[in-house]
Structure formats: structure tokens, C-alpha cells
Structure 1
Amino acid sequence: MEREAFDSSVIASAGYDAAVQTLEVEFASGEIYRYRLVPRRVWRELRDADSAGAYFNAVVRDRYPEEWMPHGATPAS
């Protein structure tokens, strides 16, 4: 999944696949997670948020099924 860089101390980059409603987030730590069943609206709001980290914590974290992506893994969407 293609990600775009974020100007955030928490989120390094993120991308969204509308076909499968999946948000992929690379954190500043280097960890990558995929969040399933995420509406497109949430992706737009994350990109537009004044603080992407605060928005993520309030709206995404612990609210959507998540999958940790081991470094170097490239599973199918």
C-alpha cells in the first residue's frame, strides 16, 4: 500500500485502500499497523487533522481491528 509522509511526531506515514477500507500507519518508531473497516471519512480527517497523532488516538486506536505488520512483510491487502 502506498503511504504518504505525515508532519507528525507520532505518525511517520499513512495510506488508505478504499477498496478494502484499510488504513496503514507507520509510526515514528518504525512499527507498521493496518486497521481494517476504516471509513474513508476517517482517512480524510486524519490527513486534515491539526494533530494527526491526537486524531489517531481519539478516533482510530482501539476502535478498529488491527494487524501488526512485521518489518519486511508484504501480505496481500
Structure 2
Amino acid sequence: MSGLTKAGKEREIIIRMRRIQWGNPMIKSAGYDAQQQMLEIEFASDGQIWQFENVPEDIWYRFRSYLRPEFFFHNFIMGCYPERQMQENA
């Protein structure tokens, strides 16, 4: 798609990425795009959405199945992969 800016491409990723709803006090939802190796997390406290790049697929599966995903996030994701906060949905 030649007319898309970088921001447009990032927006496209958000729209296409399906997130799993979590009943967790820290994490509201999370999704993973294996082709882009992109992990996306929506936090419950403030609704912010963060994307983490270059996340291997096995990390996603371990994160999903971990009994306390917030601990897995703090120990194996946060600070380990390039991250960026996404603009809030209007």
C-alpha cells in the first residue's frame, strides 16, 4: 500500500490485531501478530495500549499460559523488547 505513512501502517496493525480479554487487574487484553512478531497489551488501570516488537512466538505462548501474566510481563517482556505506546482510540 503505497499511500500509507508509517503511522498509518501502525494503525493498521492495531485494527487487525485481535486481542484476548483477560480478567486480570493489570492486563485488560493482549494480542500477538506472529508475522510482525508484535505483542500488544492493553493495561486495565488506564486503558493504555503498548506494542512490543521482535517478541518471539514462544514468549507469547508462555505469557498466555502463565498463571500470573503480570509477573511474566515484568520479568520477561518489560524492558526486554523495543516498546512504544500507541495513541488512544478516539
TM (norm. structure 2) is 0.78
Partner of 2:20: 4
Partner of 2:68: 51
Q: Which runs of 5+ in 2 are unaligned?
A: 1-16
TM (norm. structure 1) is 0.90
Partner of 2:85: 68
Larger Rg: 2
SS in 1 for 2:36: coil
Q: Which runs of 5+ in 1 are unaligned?
A: none
Q: Distance in 1 between matches of 2:30 and 2:65?
A: 12
Ranked by relative contact order (alpha carbons within 8 Å, sequence separation 6 or more), the top structure is 1
Structure richer in helix, relative to its length: 2
Runs of 4+ aligned structure 1 residues displaced above 2 Å come to: none
Calculate percent identity across the aligned residue pairs: 37
Structure richer in strand, relative to its length: 1
Q: Distance in 2 between matches of 1:42 and 1:11?
A: 16
